[in-house]
């Protein structure tokens, strides 16, 4: 080995050690900052609203773990934090919301969980769902079948339904603004498309007494789409976080679902102990890292509850101001839907969706896949970009490996988490039409 080579190696090693130390330092600082903010938020909550009600998970983890392990993700209470390890956290407020809810039995508006609202946006579009007479349902965009269809003797029965579920910090626009317009005319005539804003995002309700678990999502979709539109069969298409919900939905209605298409599903095989899986999900999806900046932001928002609340206070609460500034700077009249959707949530809804649906839901995905595997009436098609930095391709490969009969994996070269759809919407739409059409004759799998 030449001296030059050796020097290069040494420099790289030094650089790595330095970066590692820096990362440790920054996150140690954030551990302290989060603890400090816990106290600050308690005081400010009390100042504004008389009582600190927003739940926080700074308390001692052993106690919490026993409480509501069924519905709440372990990643909420078992996140690594130096201070918690030393038993320092939780001096400001103990996490007692769930216990309270259990004692009261009903968890109603006054008895159960409530959160402080001063740090959330109260603009008309953000709170429209709380208006009187507004049914507590998700925002659903439905395409209507062309009138011609009704003149066909077979009527609407011949039509099929497709439900689209978006990912984290997104909304129904993710599908309506992209893939919807790329579907062929004949397809649009045959399929009725439903795109929902998931609970806690976009124009959908963001209830302060919900824990945003997988079960909540499935119930809301039943209440907002499946029941009111009396769907007796449907296809599912989901992206990222929506995939976890789609599999839960499919496992609940294995007889109604005709096909499941997952784009970049965050799948983690169940560990022996349940807690392992949700923590693995948290580490893989939002690992503690300083670079790139987006990944750093993601890890801070996912690991630090109170720091995250500060961010939401700055950006979500003041989203109208930021949107104005962005428009001024970019000289655009309209913002892209992806920019707008980024702030359409409350801290309570995003935080709990991240932990209870994404991390906690990961522990249940295997069970749902087994249900589907057993029912043998539906296939799961996965589409995943090989450059995906948000959800590693390894997730889909693992699912394919564990359920080879059930899962069909389509790896898209040179595509990342978003561009796998946005930069090839036409191909993607074609792919979907093919999947829907080929799931037409379930008799094949039933007979075999
Ligand atoms: C929580 O939401 C309910 C309605 O869902 C509302 O009546 C109540 O005022 C909210 N709590 C706070 C603190 O805003
Ligand atoms: C869906 O909702 C309907 C009524 O809204 C209810 O009867 C049905 O049991 C629900 N299905 C599931 C699987 O929860
Ligand atoms: C899936 O189903 C097939 C048969 O339908 C079975 O042989 C296989 O063991 C199942 N896989 C899992 C992981 O349960």
Q: Is residue 152 scored above 60 in pLDDT?
A: no
Q: Is residue 94 scored above 80 in pLDDT?
A: no
Q: CA 410 to CA 432: how far, in whole Å?
A: 12
Q: Give the pLDDT band of residue 79 (cuts 50, 70, 90).
A: confident
Give residue-wise pLDDT tens across range 276-288.
888 889 999 998 8
Average of per-residue pLDDT across 152-181:
82
Q: Give the pLDDT band of residue 86 (cuts 50, 70, 90).
A: low
CB 286 within 8 A of CB 308: no
Average of per-residue pLDDT across 129-156:
67
Residues 6+ apart with CB under 8 A from 415: 385, 386, 387, 388, 423, 424
Give residue-wise pLDDT tens across range 323-334.
999 999 998 888
Whole-number pLDDT of residue 146:
55
Whole-number pLDDT of residue 108:
34
Q: Do strands 140-142 and 191-196 pair parallel, antiparallel, or not at all (unpaired)?
A: antiparallel
Which of 163, 222, 371 gets mutated to test ligand 2 (max ligand atoms within 8 A of its CB)?
A: 222
- Tokens (6 digits) for 133: 């007479």
Give residue-wise pLDDT tens across range 335-345.
899 989 999 99
Which range is most confident: 11-25, 100-114, 125-139, 398-412?
A: 398-412
Average of per-residue pLDDT across 348-368:
93
Which of 372, 402, 405, 446 gets mutated to test ligand 3 (max ligand atoms within 8 A of its CB)?
A: 405
Q: Is residue 125 scored above 90 in pLDDT?
A: no
Question: 140 phi and psi, to 5 degrees?
Answer: -125, 130
Q: Give the pLDDT band of residue 445 (cuts 50, 70, 90).
A: very low
Whole-number pLDDT of residue 48:
87
Whole-number pLDDT of residue 52:
77
Whole-number pLDDT of residue 275:
64
Q: Half-sphere exposure of residue 113, counting CA atoms within 13 Å on the CB side?
A: 17
Distance 234 CA to ligand 2 centre (A): 15
Whole-number pLDDT of residue 404:
95
Give residue-wise pLDDT tens across range 251-274.
999 999 999 999 999 999 987 765
Q: CA 343 to CA 341: how far, in whole Å?
A: 5
Average of per-residue pLDDT across 126-151:
74
CB 52 within 8 A of CB 116: yes
CB 71 within 8 A of CB 215: yes
Relative to the CA of 218, which ligand 2 atom is closest? 14
Whole-number pLDDT of residue 394:
95
169 closest CA partner among 45, 274, 38, 308: 308
Average of per-residue pLDDT across 77-85:
67
So which residues are the catalytic ones? Answer: 166, 240, 388, 417
What integer best gives the mean pLDDT of the chain?
83
Nearest CA residue ID for atom 13, ligand 3: 403
Whole-number pLDDT of residue 444:
42
Share of the chain above pLDDT 70, in %: 83
Distance 373 CA to ligand 3 centre (A): 6
Q: Is residue 144 scored above 70 in pLDDT?
A: yes
Q: Give the number of whichever ligand sits closest to the CA of residue 131.
A: 1
Give residue-wise pLDDT tens across range 207-239.
888 889 999 999 999 999 999 999 999 999 999
Q: Give the number of whichever ligand sits closest to the CA of residue 406.
A: 3
C-beta of 222 in contact with ligand 2 (< 6 A):
yes
Delineate the domains of the chain, giving CATH numbers in brackets.
Answer: 23-117+275-357 (no CATH), 137-270+364-440 (3.40.50.1820)
Distance 227 CA to ligand 2 centre (A): 7
C-beta of 223 in contact with ligand 1 (< 6 A):
no
Q: Is residue 151 scored above 60 in pLDDT?
A: no
Whole-number pLDDT of residue 6:
83
Relative to the CA of 222, which ligand 2 atom is closest? 1
Distance 64 CA to ligand 1 centre (A): 25
């Amino acid at each position: 080995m030449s001296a030059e080579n050796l020097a290069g190696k040494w420099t790289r090693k030094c650089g790595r050690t330095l970066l590692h130390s820096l990362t440790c330092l920054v996150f140690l600082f954030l551990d302290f900052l989060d603890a400090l903010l816990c106290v600050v938020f308690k005081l400010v909550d009390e100042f504004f609203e008389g009582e600190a009600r927003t739940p926080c998970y700074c308390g001692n983890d052993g106690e919490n773990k026993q409480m509501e392990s069924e519905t709440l993700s372990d990643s909420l209470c078992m996140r690594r934090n130096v201070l918690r390890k030393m038993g320092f956290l939780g001096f400001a407020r103990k996490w007692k919301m769930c216990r309270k809810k259990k004692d009261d039995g009903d968890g109603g508006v006054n008895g159960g969980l409530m959160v402080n609202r001063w740090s959330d946006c109260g603009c008309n579009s953000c709170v429209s769902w709380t208006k009187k007479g507004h049914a507590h349902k998700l925002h659903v965009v439905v395409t209507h079948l062309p009138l011609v269809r009704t003149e066909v003797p077979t009527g609407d029965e011949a039509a099929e339904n497709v439900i689209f579920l978006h990912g984290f910090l997104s909304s129904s626009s993710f599908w309506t603004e992209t893939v919807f317009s790329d579907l062929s005319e004949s397809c649009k005539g045959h399929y009725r498309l439903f795109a929902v804003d998931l609970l806690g995002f976009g124009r959908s309700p963001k209830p302060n007494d919900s824990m945003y678990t997988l079960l909540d999502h499935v119930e809301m979709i039943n209440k907002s789409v499946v029941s009111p539109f009396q769907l007796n069969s449907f296809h599912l298409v989901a992206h990222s976080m929506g995939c976890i919900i789609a599999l839960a939905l499919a496992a609940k209605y294995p007889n109604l679902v005709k096909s499941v298409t997952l784009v970049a599903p965050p799948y983690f095989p169940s560990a022996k102990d349940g807690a392992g899986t949700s923590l693995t999900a948290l580490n893989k999806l939002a690992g503690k890292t300083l670079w790139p900046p987006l990944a750093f932001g993601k890890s801070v928002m996912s690991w630090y509850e109170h720091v995250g609340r500060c961010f939401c206070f700055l950006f979500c609460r003041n989203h109208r101001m930021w949107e104005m500034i962005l428009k001024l700077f970019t000289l655009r009249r309209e913002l892209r839907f992806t920019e707008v959707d980024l702030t359409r949530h409350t801290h309570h809804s995003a935080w709990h969706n991240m932990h209870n649906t994404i991390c906690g839901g990961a522990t249940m995905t295997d069970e749902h896949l087994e249900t589907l595997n057993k029912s043998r009436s539906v296939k799961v098609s996965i589409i995943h970009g090989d450059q995906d930095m948000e959800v590693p391709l390894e997730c889909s490969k693992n699912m394919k490996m564990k359920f080879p009969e059930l899962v069909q994996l389509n790896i898209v070269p040179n595509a990342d988490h978003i561009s796998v759809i946005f930069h090839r919407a036409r191909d993607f739409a074609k792919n979907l039409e093919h999947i829907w059409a080929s799931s037409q004759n379930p008799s094949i799998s039933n007979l075999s």
